[in-house]
Every structure is written in structure tokens, then in C-alpha cells.
Amino acid sequence: MLYPSVNHVTEGQRSFDMNETETNWYVVYTRPRWEKKVSAVLNEKGIENYCPLNRVRKKWSDRYKIVLEPLFKGYVFVKVNEPAKWDIKKTEGILNYVYWLGKPAKVKDEEINTIRKFLQEFSNVEVVERKLDVHSKVMVRQGIMMNYHGIIVEVSGTRAKVKIDSMGIQLVAVFDKKNLEPTDFTE
């Protein structure tokens, strides 16, 4: 059966949207310590997913043992098409998607492949959150001040005050920390 193009749709015909067949990687939040369970349930349903497992050497009172722990606590990657995306949330143990700019965040295939390669080569990997400290040099990644460089003056919760020197004056603005990237610019 041939489907009409999106531009040429008459009443009663089904439009074919490329997003219906195109699959993307997304990140879902899971209940605490449910990453492996959620991955197993998704596998049973035939849904492609990835729960990166880290080989960690643990010490018990009488021995050491290598155990597989989720690299990202509380997260599992799923690869689904647009219509199936919302059915995933009905899976026991999945709380919600990770959102970016009001939509479920898409993850590039290259990033998933990089994580896989990294875990194949190294064991006992740590996920370290970027720290933004007062007097750190940063670059703004989003918004009207995008690509401007500045210095953090104050950090409070998820926000940071950044001093930006421009045209001989100082501008101080408040940004979401997620929109700031540490940098090594020189003044």
C-alpha cells in the first residue's frame, strides 16, 4: 500500500509521517534501584533499550566480587518511534522521561555508542557531575547571551549569577546552571 505524502493528504486518507517509523534514543527515569528490572521488562516487550552496566569490585566481609551496577542511577535509555514513545511510560518502574526544553530529550546514536565503547574498555567507571564554583569561568550555552563568557559570582540551587564584562561595563545575570559550561577563556 502506498501512503500519500504529508503535503498531499485528502480527507479519509492516512498521512505518513517519517517520525512514525524513525526511532530515537530517549532517557527515562526509573524508580530507585529498578534500572535492571525496567530493562528486563522492556526486553520482554521487544523494546530496544540500554541500561549501561559498570563492572565494580565490591568487598564483602570474606571476599571480593565483581558486580554489575547501573552506571547512571535511576536512568535507562530506550529507542522507540514517536507513536510508541508514550506507551513506554506505562511500563512498571518507569516514572517519566528526562525532558529538555519541554520535550523528552533525544540522545544521539553516537553518544550511546561512546558509552558502550567506554564501558567495554574500562571498569569501575564513575559519573561525575560538573561542578560550578564561584570564580569559575563559564560560557553560556543557551538563550540571548549564548556563547558569552563570564565568571560565576554566586551559586544558589540550580541557578548561578554570572558576571560578563563587555564594552567596559559589567553585566550580571542569573542563569540556570544547566545552561552554563565550564571553560578556560582568558580575559
Least confident of 76-80, 130-134, 151-155, 160-164: 130-134
pLDDT interval class at 13 (50, 70, 90): very low
Mean pLDDT (the chain, rounded): 80
pTM attached to this predicted model = 0.63
- pLDDT of 35 reads 96
More confident position, 99 or 133: 99
| pLDDT of 34 | 96
- The domain segmentation of the chain, as residue ranges, is 19-121, 137-182
pLDDT tens-place string over residues 43-59: 999 999 999 998 888 88
Grid coordinates given for 137:
569561568
pLDDT of residue 166: 62
Each residue's pLDDT tens digit, 101-117: 788 989 999 999 989 98
Instruction: Average the pLDDT over 155-180 and give the result.
Output: 73
CA distance 185 to 50: 36
Binned at pLDDT 50, 70 and 90, residue 4 comes out as: very low
The CATH T-level fold of domain 19-121 is: Alpha-Beta Plaits (3.30.70)
Q: Hey, which CATH number is domain 137-182, 3.40.50.1000, 2.30.30.30, 3.30.1490.20, 1.10.3470.10?
A: 2.30.30.30
Average pLDDT over residues 151-159: 80
Residue 33's pLDDT is 93
Estimate to the nearest angstrom the gap between the alpha carbon of 167 and the chain centroid: 36
Cα angle value 26/114/125 (rounded, 5°): 100
Q: Which of 10-19, 122-131, 165-174 has the lowest mean pLDDT?
A: 10-19
% helix, strand, coil for the chain, step of 5: 20, 40, 40
pLDDT band per the 50, 70, 90 thresholds, residue 2: very low
pLDDT for the residue numbered 31: 94
Q: Minimal CA–CA distance to 36: which of 105, 118, 44?
A: 44
